[in-house]
Amino acid sequence: MDAGKQGRVPPSSSTDEYEKENVGLHVDRVITPTEEKELIDPKLDLRTPQEKKTSYLQFITLCWTLVLGDGTMGPPGFMIGSILNMYITPRLGFGKTLVLGSLLQVSAYCIQSPGPPFPAFLLGYAIAGASLSLQDAQANGFVANLKHNAKSKMGMLHACYGFGLFAAPFASTQFAQQPRWSFQFLVSLGMAIMNTILQIITFRFKSLDECLTLGGEPETEKSDSNEGSLFMHVMKSRTTQFIAFFIAAHLGVGAALGGWIVTYIIRVRGGGPSSGYISAGVSGGSMIGRVALLKLNKKLGERNAVFVYSAVCFGLEIIAWRVPSLVGDAIAVCFIGLLLGPMYPMAMNQASQLLPGWMLTGSIGWIAGFGQTGSALVPFVTGVISNKYGLESLPPVTEFDSRCFGIKVDRNDGAHGIDVGFDTK
C-alpha cells in the first residue's frame, strides 16, 4: 500500500477492515440511482436498446392520449379534475390514475352519444373535462420527468395535442349536417376505448418510477413530507401559481383569437362561409409551431423566445386590425397561432426545471386546470366588450390580453428560488 492510502487509514481501524468498508461503500455509490445520475453525463444516452424501445412506446401512447383531448371540454370539470389529481395520484400512482381518467372519458362519451337531455349532456362535458385533466397531468408529468430529449418530446407531445384540436372540427362538421349530430361522439368513444387499451398494455398500472426505470430514466425525487399535504404544497408554491397565471393568459388569448376571429372576418372583412377554416388554420399553426420552432427555441433560450414571440404576435394583431385585407388578416392570424403554439410546452419545461419531481404532476395538473379558466373567461369578456363597442374592438382587446400575457411572463421570471416549502432545482 502506498503512502497516500496509508494516510487515509483511521488510527483506530486496521488496514484490511478499512479497505473492505470502503469497497462496500464504493460499490453502493456506483449502483445507487442518485449517485449514478450525478456521475453519468446527462448528454450521453447510455440506455439499452430495450429501454429505448420501451421509452418510445410509452411516449407514443401518451401522444395518442393527448390527441383525444384538446383541453377545451368542460372547464369546470377540468378544474375539479386538477384538484382531485393531487389527492388521487399519490394514492393510486401514475398508471392507475391514467387509466381511471381514460375510463371517465369513455363514460362521458357514452352519455353524450345518444343525444341526451341538455343537463345530462352538460354532465357528460364535466366528466370529460375531469378525465382530460387527470390524463393531461399524468402525460405532462411523465414527459417533464424525462432526462433524454425532454424538451423535444414535450414539444412533440403538445403537437399531438394541437393535432386533436385541428382535426376535431373536420370530423364534427360531417355529423353536424346529419339528423343525429350527437353520433360524432361515437368516433370519440371508439378512440377513447382504444386509448384505454393502449394505456393498460403500455403502462400496466405501474407507478411513475417503475415506468421511468423501464425506459432507462432515473427515478423521481422523493418527498420528505406527508403525501396528504401535496395540495397545500402546490397551493403555496409561488412558481406554480405564476406559471398557472401564465398558462391562463396564454390559453385565454388563444381561445379568444380562435373563437372570435371567424366572426370578425365575416362581419368586418366581408368573408364568406369558408372563413370558418381560419380557425382551423390557427390550430394548425399552433400544432406546427410546437415542432418546427424547437431549434429556434433552443437557440434563443425559452425565456427570450417567449418575449420575442409575444412581440411579433402583437405586431401581427395590429396588422389584422388596421390592414383591410381578408387574405392578409387570415395569414397574420395563422402566424399568430404558429408563434403561440410553443409557449405551453415551454412553460411545462420551465415547471420541470423549477419544481421537484415529487410535486411536478400535481403542480402541472393545477396549472392546466387553472389555465382552463382563462380559456373560458377571456373569450367571454371579449364577447361582452365586442357586443357593447362593436366587432372592431376585438383586435384591440386581444392585443391587451397579449400584453397581460407578457406581464405574467416577466413576473414568472422572478419566481426562481422564492418557492415555499422546498428548494428549486
CA dihedral 193, 133, 83, 238 (to 10 degrees): 150
| pTM (predicted TM-score) | 0.74
User: In the prediction, which pLDDT does 110 show?
Assistant: 94
Q: How far apart are CA 52 and CA 393, in angstroms?
A: 52
Average pLDDT, the chain: 76
**pLDDT digit string, tens, across residues 187-210:** 889 989 999 999 999 999 998 888
- CATH superfamily placement of domain 49-217: MFS general substrate transporter like domains (1.20.1250.20)
**pLDDT digit string, tens, across residues 108-121:** 999 989 988 888 88
Q: Does 234-415 match 49-217 at the fold level? A: yes
Q: Which of 248-257, 265-274, 335-344 has the lowest mean pLDDT?
A: 265-274
Grid cell 488510527 in the structure block, residue: 11
The CATH number corresponding to 234-415 among 3.40.50.300, 3.40.50.150, 1.20.1250.20, 2.40.50.100 equals 1.20.1250.20
For residue 86, pLDDT over 80 is answered with yes
- Domain positions in the chain are 49-217, 234-415
User: In the prediction, which pLDDT does 44 show?
Assistant: 55
- Over residues 400-413, mean pLDDT: 50
Alpha carbon 137 to its chain centroid, in Å, reads 7
Percent of the chain with pLDDT over 70: 75
- Over residues 64-69, mean pLDDT: 58
Categorize the per-residue pLDDT at 415 as very low, low, confident or very high, splitting at 50, 70 and 90: very low
Q: How far apart are CA 94 and CA 83, in angstroms?
A: 16
Q: How far apart are CA 143 and CA 160, in angstroms?
A: 13
Q: Which of 7-11, 99-103, 135-139, 303-307 has the lowest mean pLDDT?
A: 7-11
Q: How far apart are CA 46 and CA 52, in angstroms?
A: 10
For residue 38, pLDDT over 60 is answered with no
